[in-house]
A and B are shown apart, each in its own frame.
Chain A
Amino acid sequence: MIVAAALCPCPPLLARELTGHEEVLPELRDACAAAVARLLAAEPDVLVVVGPDDQTGTWPADGRLDFGAYAPALARRPAASEAPWPAQSTAAAAAARRPLLPLSLGMGALLLDEAGYAGPRAFQGIDAAATPDECRTLGRRLAATAPRTALLAMGDGSARRSTSAPGYLDERAAPFDLTVERAVREGDLAALASLDPALAADLLAIGRPAWQALAGAIMPSRVETDVLYCDAPLGVSYLVATLTPQ
């Protein structure tokens, strides 16, 4: 049973180190941290992270974000001849041996790590092309993970929100994201569950299958929701929200 759920986006720039010297979108990072804090406040038996992946499947619970895929310098070990950089602590070395997750789940792992969560966690990848029915079915199964399951659904809205967006402007992007935002604000899980996969894929809205799994995990319960962040400052729609089943 789901005791608490949250939506968070998964842009690599959520990882503080990846943006370099300057902090980018700290308010987004704060919102994600607040959402995760509320999941932990529900004192779940297990925290399940679900996010889009190449195929549906589980990942090791000690998995972590693959920094090296995005910033090789951050993963590179210094050669013996070079000055120590960065200083490798025992903890860092241990972290370096943990398996690498796909972006959506890795970002979830990072958020849990940053929240200091050391309890049981599980990572569930979901096929980016999974049908709404497959998503809901998976969601129901995730809800049954433990008597008190917290669910963190990772994923973004459209990446076609402006001409400078990664996917350039698509006029359908803003209405699509607004539909998602309204559904979340109003606790309308059925609306989330009926998002069109083809349209979402066209709009590069990779969060769709995870949101639909979340809808399936909670339905038919009603939810109270709180939107902590909803904006597309860099042309990609980021939505952070918590959903508490009543």
Chain B
Amino acid sequence: MDGAVAGDRGQPTRTPGPLRLGGREFAPGQPLVMAIVNRTPDSFYRPGVTWDQVAAMDMVHVAVADGADIVDIGGVPAKPGPEVTVAEEIRRVVPFIERVRAAYPDLVISVDTWRHEPARAMCAAGADLINDTWSAWDPELAEVAAEFEVGLVCSHIGPLTPRTRPHRPAYADVVADVLDRVLLLTERALKAGVDADRIVIDPTHDFGKNTWQSLELTRRLAELTATGWPVLVSGSHKDFVGETLGASLDDRLAGTLATTALCAWLGARLFRAHDVRETRQALDMIATVKGDRPPARAVRGLA
């Protein structure tokens, strides 16, 4: 609970400090790229591209080379579809985590899961962060995070249950609703014994939100970063980008990077991304404008 104090919402806020994931420690001014590696045949963007285990490992190699700090591995698509049992999720993800861990002993491995049984197996296999996109639908996830001394993402999905789509979600104030939920979850996580330096909050664009609501969260992201908790933005190629630009699934990179840049400027620290190289460059650009990072090589006008 070190550094956790009661904020105006009566829930814990923090003085921004280091984020600890695995054996790594990341300072507030250091934006992190979380590369998406799906072990699914049917995720929304480029479905099945890493269903093959060799292809998935190749993607990890490329992501690391392109500057990813974290890989986020998931075995169940967010969208509705055929059931993926606990056993099947474990079968898809756990052996792969073991391979990644063997190849990259220091790489931060995140797991995109919402059930405690697979989460437990994944942590045992070497995961460092539980990316609980479905907002503590299974409250035991926090206990797993505490038990394995790994990180936990506290997210917001409004009225949804896992793997469902929003249907007419309405909020008096979507940002307030997100804040209430994620701060409640941080409090629960702390009570469960999760290390405060390993907790991340995520407004969870598109989940339980229409496009207007995701845009509002983006515009007012500073209200989330002001809590002091590290903010994860997971907006890559999502529908709010597509609907905003009238862009099909394969035409959302510019919109994704614009959102990324804006959220980085407003203080988000983790960015879940399909396009690692482009995201890294966008984040490095923003970090350098802010003064958190030096230019790679500045000579123009200085000779």
Interface residues of chain A, those whose CB is within 8 Å of chain B, are: 11-13, 17-22, 24, 70-71, 73, 76, 83, 85, 159, 165-166, 234-236
Contacts and interface: CB of A to CB of B under 8 A. Distances in A.
Contacts of A85: 29, 291-292
Given A73-B291, A83-B27, A85-B29, A19 B299 contact: yes
A13 B302 contact: yes
A235 B298 contact: no
B16 interface: yes
B299 A234 contact: yes
A70 B302 contact: yes
Contacts of A83: 16, 27-29, 292
Given A83-B27, A85-B29, A24 B291 contact: no
Interface of B: 16, 27-29, 291-292, 294-299, 301-303
Contacts of B16: 83
A11 B299 CA distance: 10
Contacts of A19: 295, 297-299, 302
Given A73-B291, A85-B29, A85-B292, A22 B297 contact: yes
Contact of A18 (B27, B29, B292, B302): B302
Contact of A11 (B28, B29, B291, B302): B302
Nearest to A159: B303
B298 to A, nearest CB: 4
A71 B289 CA distance: 11
Contacts, number: 50
Contacts of A234: 299, 303
A83 B18 CA distance: 11
Contacts of B29: 83, 85
Nearest to B226: A81
Contacts of A76: 291
A19 B29 CA distance: 20
Nearest to B289: A73
Given A85-B29, A85-B291, A236-B303, 20 more contacts: A11-B302, A12-B302, A13-B299, A17-B294, A18-B298, A19-B299, A19-B302, A20-B296, A20-B297, A22-B296, A22-B297, A24-B297, A24-B298, A24-B299, A70-B302, A73-B291, A83-B28, A83-B29, A159-B303, A234-B303
- Of residues B292, B299, B302, which shows the largest number of chain A Cβ atoms within 10 Å of its Cβ? B302
Contact of A21 (B28, B294, B299, B301): B294
A22 B302 CA distance: 14
Contacts of B296: 20-22
Contacts of B28: 83
A24 to B, nearest CB: 6
